[in-house]
Copies of this chain bind each other. A is one copy, B any other.
Amino acid sequence: MQIVFALYEEFTALDAVGPYEVLSRLPGATAVFAAMERGPVRTDGALTVMAEAALEEIDRCDVLVVPGGPGTRDVVLGDQRYVDWVRRVHPTTRWTTSVCSGSLILGAAGLLRGLDATTHWGLRKELEATGARYVPERTVEQGRILTAAGVSAGIDMALTLAARIGGDVAAQAIQLWIEYDPQPPFDSGSPAKASPETLDFVATHLAPG
């Protein structure tokens, strides 16, 4: 089972690494980090990772993971090679997935028209512009397309998918191995739970221009 993490400049590292730590531990899984060109790929911060394959060398895969990040904008508005590749490989996959703004790329490829889907809480309108119905859930499953909410939601999405692929026990074992027993010190992970001060801080310091 080949799992392709399709990277691009300025993706958000955790969007890819969260699902990777879950899905790559399924027995028989092979993870491939790929991008338009082989070689270093900058994330949206200080981290650079290596793409070991070029997307255009890959003509099929079992699982496709499209991460989000500020670079989504260039992927969607840029030269279309990445979006064209997603459109081409999707019919070959068992599962096509996205995390955070990665769903805007699936949408740009025309895969979400008329479907429920999710994305980062700040991008509802952008998702709906692709013809999807935004659902504020952690993971939205529509046939063989799974979309996850923002950044860290990819871990939850991947556990759901791991259970579909390998069964509940395999998914539970991976959860145990990565000790995913979350106990955040605050309960501020969604806009409905966040204080006005927190929302102000996000707008001032964290939201991209």
Give me the interface of A with B, judged by CB distance under 8 Å: 12-14, 17-18, 20-21, 24-25, 27, 30-33, 40, 45-50, 52, 100, 120-121, 138-139, 149-153, 155-156, 159-160, 163, 168-191, 193-195, 197-199, 201-202, 205-207
Residues from chain B with a CB closer than 8 A to the CB of A176 are 188-191, 194, 198-199, 202
Known contacts A20-B45, A52-B48; is-contact A152 B180 (Cβ 8 Å): yes
Closest Cβ of chain B to A37, distance in Å, is 15
B21 and A46 contact, CB distance less than 8 A: no
Closest Cβ of chain B to A133, distance in Å, is 19
Q: Which secondary structure dominates chain A's binding surface?
A: mixed
Residues from chain B with a CB closer than 8 A to the CB of A13 are 17, 20-21
Q: Which of A20, A31, A198 has its CB near the most chain B CB atoms (within 10 A)?
A: A198
Q: Can you add 19 more A-B contacts, CB < 8 Å, to A48-B49, A155-B182, A173-B202? A: A14-B21, A24-B45, A25-B206, A46-B52, A47-B50, A48-B52, A151-B179, A152-B182, A153-B181, A159-B186, A169-B201, A170-B201, A172-B188, A173-B194, A175-B186, A176-B189, A178-B189, A179-B189, A182-B182
Residues from chain B with a CB closer than 8 A to the CB of A149 are 179, 181
Residues from chain B with a CB closer than 8 A to the CB of A12 are 21
B173 and A201 contact, CB distance less than 8 A: yes
Residues from chain B with a CB closer than 8 A to the CB of A171 are 185-186
Residues from chain B with a CB closer than 8 A to the CB of A202 are 173, 176-177
Closest Cβ of chain B to A8, distance in Å, is 16
A14 and B159 contact, CB distance less than 8 A: no
Residues from chain B with a CB closer than 8 A to the CB of A179 are 100, 120-121, 149-153, 189-190
